[in-house]
Chain A
Amino acid sequence: MSAASPAARRGAATRVVLYAILLVFAVIYLMPLYVMLTTSFKTLEEIHQGNMLALPGEWTLAPWREAWGSACIGLECNGVHGYFFNSIKIVIPAVLISGLLGAFNGYVLTKWKFRGHKIVFGLILFSCFIPFQIILLPMARVLGILHLANSTGGLVLVHIVYGIGFTTLFFRNFYASFPDELVRAAQLDGAGFFTIFFRILLPASVPIIVVTIIWQFTNVWNDFLFGVSFASGDSAPITVALNNLVNSSTGVKAYNVNMAAAMVAAVPTLIVYILAGKYFLRGLMSGSVKG
């Protein structure tokens, strides 16, 4: 290494500076998470001593237990766990159904083109650009007519409808580069519309399925506006419950409990990223066609 050229040394120096800057940003970005985590394991007295960045002097799980099972939200003191399961009940059907519908739309829009397919896709795409706030009132009215107001079912419907635009966009763009010849070959082999979709296209769609799941899961799980507008009381999702928890604590603010509840609300999206990211593989299409 003694004979390293000046150019190589300059390259190394640049790299050190670059990594230093990146490190600073990473620390800034992770700081809130660190504070949340440490605070959630501290006792209230320790928090009141005021050193936010210190590690807990005495680790305690009590704030987590309280947040999960006995913290008061509004008038009831059962913690956030009921709302956590509400969110689960909303997110699973909403992600699966909107994803499947988006995949179907993408399949039809690319492989079974019909007259006007571009206009239809344009309209679906347009729904991605409609802000949440605009549809609140009409949606409330529709849910009322369907007798789905203030229910998790209603919220599932809202998320499916709102998600289809994005899922269709993802799958359409993915299937646009999926070779038509595979569909043609399958047709010659005697496969029909649904068989081609479920046996040929869907198994080759893992990367875009993962993208869709991450996107939809995060959006639906983190949604607050729809939740607070269309599902109140017992059917509220965890984001709404978290808000209520923070607002309804009287007297001393139990920061540790609030932080623990916030962590509970954040953990599922983290898990989805960690699990799904593993399957975020490229090159699944390799080998189907020449080149």
Chain B
Amino acid sequence: MSFLHINNVHKRFGETHVLKGVDIAIEQGDFLVLVGPSGCGKSTLLNMIAGLDSISEGELLLDGRCINDVHPSRRDIAMVFQSYALYPSMTVAGNIGFGLEMRKVPRKERREAVDRVAKLLQIENLLDRKPGQLSGGQRQRVAMGRALVRDPQLFLFDEPLSNLDAKLRVDMRSEIKQLHQRLKTTIVYVTHDQVEAMTLATRIAVMRAGELQQLGTPHEVYDDPNNLFVAGFMGSPSMNLVKARIVEHDGVLVAQVATGDTTLALPIVRDREALSDWCGRDVILGLRPEAITDPASANHRDGNIHEAELPVDLIEPTGADLYVVTTLGDASVNARMRPGTPLRPGERTRFAFDVSRMVVFDPESERRIRDEQMIDSALEETA
């Protein structure tokens, strides 16, 4: 029995069908991150879990109990809102302690709980201020404090870090991660930030237009996407998607990519069984930038590296990496190379393709073409 079970949940606002049957189940202590394009229904789903929006259809189970009709105040859920929603006329201490006050916690205990949380979030010196006198980052901490002080069964975070500057965001991110590791409370967290999703989550749910695209560990969603949308949405820079044709070449299954003058033939090592049915048909290949490198940085151990000489269109140094853009078929392709690799646009250089990380999609249904077994053994090793 899972701890939080979102069972075929629908949401309609009048005529508009916002959530179209979402199924998500997570265990106690999980950190579920909801990602998806703006307007796909993430906040709506969060509000429904909190009880602030009604459920049009389906069932919501928390710890085995159906909470569809339970009042928000009785769900034992704390939420951090996308806008911080601090009470403007109360002090920081009043804001944090309000939930406890409403639950009739005695004044002394309340004071202690507020102090404890304030210390945790390093806002002890702000307790007597009003929200209007705080900076964005401080308000954000108060909003967190208001949730943390309550020790609920479930935390809901709606893009809590979206308005912070880059530095504060990274700090808060690791604080949230530490907090989760310490408290082990179940969390549902909405974000647009790829790094936040990958670093915080134990489970990622990718949504699109009110439908769940994939639910899995960050590793599964990143390396083993269900469809083209998930492949393109997760990761930054995003996965390279290239048109190709599956052919059998001397008894070996390869994906052929036309690259101007030559044809690149990448051997298929993953999902071979499923792909043998696709001989002679067009597909879309997915390759992460980090699966295309310079030969020296490639992992040659498993013999899954395929090298090819290609022209360099553009180089983009980021400091930590050097992204090299080349052309495969009619698509620009990003490769990640060691910084300092001496390259200039217009030159030709050798690229190393890690074909064990290559995923293949059906261009029509946009679904992944994959073997039946859920866990790819090759993938397990690279992990």
The interface of chain A, by Cβ under 8 A from chain B, is 179, 181-182, 184-192, 195, 199-200, 203-204, 283-291
A27: min CB distance to chain B, Å: 41
Q: Are B83 and A184 in contact (CB under 8 A)?
A: no
Kindly state the separation between the CA atoms of A284 and B89 in the bound complex, as whole angstroms: 8
Q: Are B81 and A181 in contact (CB under 8 A)?
A: yes
Q: Are B73 and A203 in contact (CB under 8 A)?
A: no
Kindly state the separation between the CA atoms of A284 and B131 in the bound complex, as whole angstroms: 10
Q: Are A286 and B132 in contact (CB under 8 A)?
A: yes
Size class of the contact patch on chain B = 20 to 34
Residue of B81, B130, B163 touching A184 (CB-CB under 8 A): B81
Residues in B whose Cβ lies below 8 Å from that of A286 = 88, 132
Residue of A192, A195, A283, A288 touching B131 (CB-CB under 8 A): A288
Q: 25 pairs across A/B with beta carbons < 8 Å?
A: A179-B83, A182-B85, A182-B87, A184-B47, A184-B50, A184-B85, A185-B81, A185-B146, A188-B51, A189-B99, A189-B102, A190-B102, A203-B88, A203-B90, A284-B88, A285-B88, A287-B131, A287-B133, A288-B84, A288-B85, A288-B86, A288-B88, A288-B131, A290-B84, A290-B136
Asked if B134 is at the interface (CB within 8 A of a chain A CB), the reply is yes
Q: A-facing mask of B74-85, CB < 8 A → 1, else 0? A: 000111011111
A172: min CB distance to chain B, Å: 19
Kindly state the separation between the CA atoms of A29 and B293 in the bound complex, as whole angstroms: 83
Asked if B167 is at the interface (CB within 8 A of a chain A CB), the reply is no
Residue of B52, B89, B133 touching A188 (CB-CB under 8 A): B52
Residues in A whose Cβ lies below 8 Å from that of B90 = 199, 203
Q: Are A187 and B73 in contact (CB under 8 A)?
A: yes
Q: Are A189 and B132 in contact (CB under 8 A)?
A: no
Given contacts A190-B103, A195-B102, A287-B133, contact A179 B85 (CB under 8 A): yes
Residues in A whose Cβ lies below 8 Å from that of B81 = 181, 184-185
Residues in A whose Cβ lies below 8 Å from that of B87 = 182, 185-186, 199-200, 204, 288
Q: Are A289 and B73 in contact (CB under 8 A)?
A: no
Q: Which parts of B46-93 form the interface with A (CB within 8 Å)?
A: 47, 50-52, 72-73, 77-79, 81-90
Of all chain A residues, the one with the shortest Cβ separation from B102 is A190
Residue of B50, B86, B99, B134 touching A190 (CB-CB under 8 A): B99
Q: Are B139 and A181 in contact (CB under 8 A)?
A: no
Q: Are A188 and B50 in contact (CB under 8 A)?
A: yes
**5 more A-B residue pairs beyond the given contacts A187-B72, A190-B99, A290-B84, with a C-beta to C-beta distance below 8 A:** A192-B73, A203-B89, A286-B88, A286-B132, A290-B163
A199: min CB distance to chain B, Å: 8
Asked if B157 is at the interface (CB within 8 A of a chain A CB), the reply is no
Asked if B98 is at the interface (CB within 8 A of a chain A CB), the reply is yes
Of all chain A residues, the one with the shortest Cβ separation from B86 is A288
Q: Are B84 and A190 in contact (CB under 8 A)?
A: no
Of all chain A residues, the one with the shortest Cβ separation from B74 is A190
Q: A-facing mask of B213-237, CB < 8 A → 1, else 0? A: 0000000000000000000000000
Given contacts A187-B73, A195-B102, contact A290 B131 (CB under 8 A): no
Q: Which parts of B224-269 form the interface with A (CB within 8 Å)?
A: none
Given contacts A179-B83, A287-B139, contact A191 B52 (CB under 8 A): no
Residues in B whose Cβ lies below 8 Å from that of A283 = 132
Residue of B85, B130, B139, B163 touching A185 (CB-CB under 8 A): B85
Residues in B whose Cβ lies below 8 Å from that of A191 = 73, 98, 102
Kindly state the separation between the CA atoms of A190 and B139 in the bound complex, as whole angstroms: 21
Kindly state the separation between the CA atoms of A191 and B95 in the bound complex, as whole angstroms: 13
Of all chain A residues, the one with the shortest Cβ separation from B162 is A290
Residues in B whose Cβ lies below 8 Å from that of A184 = 47, 50, 52, 72, 81, 85
Residues in B whose Cβ lies below 8 Å from that of A199 = 87, 90, 98
- The 8 A-B pairs at the shortest CB distance, nearest first, are namely A287-B132, A203-B89, A190-B102, A287-B131, A288-B88, A189-B99, A289-B83, A181-B85
Q: Are B88 and A204 in contact (CB under 8 A)?
A: yes
Residues in A whose Cβ lies below 8 Å from that of B132 = 283-284, 286-288
Kindly state the separation between the CA atoms of A195 and B73 in the bound complex, as whole angstroms: 13
A188: min CB distance to chain B, Å: 5
Q: A-facing mask of B163-184, CB < 8 A → 1, else 0? A: 1000000000000000000000
Kindly state the separation between the CA atoms of A187 and B53 in the bound complex, as whole angstroms: 12
Residues in A whose Cβ lies below 8 Å from that of B72 = 184, 187-188
Residues in B whose Cβ lies below 8 Å from that of A185 = 79, 81, 85, 87, 146
Q: Which parts of B93-144 form the interface with A (CB within 8 Å)?
A: 98-99, 102-103, 130-134, 136, 139
Kindly state the separation between the CA atoms of A200 and B132 in the bound complex, as whole angstroms: 15
Of all chain B residues, the one with the shortest Cβ separation from A189 is B99
Q: A-facing mask of B10-53, CB < 8 A → 1, else 0? A: 00000000000000000000000000000000000001001110
B283: min CB distance to chain A, Å: 45
Kindly state the separation between the CA atoms of A190 and B73 in the bound complex, as whole angstroms: 4
Kindly state the separation between the CA atoms of A187 and B86 in the bound complex, as whole angstroms: 13
Q: Are B89 and A289 in contact (CB under 8 A)?
A: no
Of all chain B residues, the one with the shortest Cβ separation from A205 is B89
Q: Interface centre among B73, B103, B130, B136, by most A CB within 10 Å?
A: B73
Q: Interface centre among B52, B81, B89, by most A CB within 10 Å?
A: B89
Kindly state the separation between the CA atoms of A291 and B73 in the bound complex, as whole angstroms: 28
Of all chain A residues, the one with the shortest Cβ separation from B104 is A190
Q: Are A289 and B84 in contact (CB under 8 A)?
A: yes
A175: min CB distance to chain B, Å: 13
Kindly state the separation between the CA atoms of A220 and B89 in the bound complex, as whole angstroms: 30
Residues in B whose Cβ lies below 8 Å from that of A203 = 88-90
A147: min CB distance to chain B, Å: 42
Of all chain B residues, the one with the shortest Cβ separation from A201 is B89
Q: Interface centre among A182, A189, A203, A291, by most B CB within 10 Å?
A: A189
